[in-house]
Amino acid sequence: MHRWSVVVHPLAEAEIKALPADMQARFIRIAEMLEEFGPQKVGMPHVRPLEKRLWEMRMSGRDGISRAIYVSAYARRLVVLHAFTKKTQATPRAAIETALKRWSSNL
């Protein structure tokens, strides 16, 4: 059976690098779980569905809460489209729109 892979959009890579170190480490851990077990086996509190085919990785650390929005692409590939520090209870519409824009321009 083929393993899953997590790839990061170039703009999201810079956003992830801007996160605090503990949240970057949490991102890596969640990505490793997705690759090892597949997205069907990883759920709350690590990931949750957003809308359409978008999902979010849920990271928390000493400095707050961050999210990374990803999509399940083809050939067992998960593409991280956008990462940001969360300041409100709900995922901001602008963050979802950014991810959708990057997804559509990546095809």
pLDDT of 96 over the 70 cut: yes
Q: How far apart are the first and last CA of the chain?
A: 26
Prediction pTM value: 0.91
Residue 56 contacts residue 91 (beta carbons within 8 Å) = yes
The predicted pLDDT at position 1 comes to 54
Domains defined for the chain, CATH in brackets:
5-106 (3.30.2310.20)
**Mean pLDDT over the full length of the chain:** 91
The predicted pLDDT at position 106 comes to 62
HSE-CB at 82 with a 13 A cutoff on CA atoms is 22
Q: Which residues pair with 105 in a beta bridge?
A: none
- What span, in angstroms and rounded, lies between the C-alpha atoms of 86 and 63? 11
* pLDDT tens, residue by residue, 61-84: 888 899 999 998 878 899 999 999
* pLDDT tens, residue by residue, 13-34: 999 999 999 999 999 999 999 9
Please, which pLDDT band fits residue 85 given cuts at 50, 70 and 90?
very high
pLDDT of 99 over the 60 cut: yes
pLDDT of 107 over the 60 cut: no
The predicted pLDDT at position 52 comes to 82
